Amino acid sequence: MADQLIRIGLVSISDRASSGEYQDKGIPTLQEWLGKTLSTPWESTVRVIPDEQDEIEATLRDLVDFEGCSLILTTGGTGPAIRDVTPEATVAVADKVMPGFGEQMRQISLNFVPTAILSRQVAVIRKRSLIINLPGQPKSIAQTLEGLKDEAGNITVPGIFAAVPYCLDLIGAPYIETDPAMVKSFRPKSAQKPES
């Protein structure tokens, strides 16, 4: 049986990128990273929008309710600045909040900068979709998704994406698999698909 295609929403939240002042780097980083990491079929639906809570909420609802995205990754708008409202908008559209994702992202970033405690990334579930706020910087995006590795390539701090496939299983989204060289996703044995 062919794997079911998963649709992934990629949302860059930035006043300057949405107005064309500068080139968005978050979405190209995510597309490249997903292309290297996912070993199951996927396609992306992309949005670049300003830091406006109503617009962020409407975009997230649209991607879940009408575009059929099972996973949405946002970048930007998660700091303490006045215009940073991505977490508020994300929680406003949520059925359930998944605090472990934000906790782990901050844990990873604290290995590099003490200001990681200022980040407010959240993750939520809306219907059968997982929505995750990621950092805005391309390097930080990859670090939080993959985790940290030692010189031999062994994981020292797990990245958040290792938990994403099983979370999607639990909410009834398509079954996805990852290239273990990039991210070794974790599922209990009872939830693993038999090898064909």
The reported pLDDT for the residue numbered 136 is 87
The reported pLDDT for the residue numbered 3 is 64
Read off the DSSP letter of residue 80. Answer: S
Distance CA 133, CA 75 (A): 6
Q: Is residue 1 part of a domain?
A: no
State the pTM of this model: 0.95
Q: How many domains does the chain have?
A: 1
What's the chain's average pLDDT? 94
Q: Quickly state the pLDDT bin for 120 (edges 50, 70, 90).
A: very high
Which CATH number is 68's domain given? Answer: 3.40.980.10
The reported pLDDT for the residue numbered 189 is 87
Q: Is residue 196 part of a domain?
A: no
Helices (DSSP H) in 70-160: which residue ranges?
86-92, 99-109, 138-146
Domain extent, residue 81, equals 6-191
What are the pLDDT digits (tens) for 153-189? 888 999 999 999 999 999 999 999 999 999 999 999 8
Please report where in the chains the tokens 């200022």 appear, as a residue: 118
Q: Is residue 83 part of a domain?
A: yes
What are the pLDDT digits (tens) for 73-98? 999 999 999 999 999 999 999 999 99
Beta strand pairing call for 42-49 and 123-126? unpaired
Distance CA 146, CA 177 (A): 14
Q: Answer yes or no: are the C-beta atoms of 132 and 104 closer than 8 Å.
A: no
Q: Is residue 118 part of a domain?
A: yes
Q: 129: helix, coil or strand?
A: strand
Q: Is residue 96 part of a domain?
A: yes
What are the pLDDT digits (tens) for 28-79? 999 999 999 999 999 999 999 999 999 999 999 999 999 999 999 999 999 9
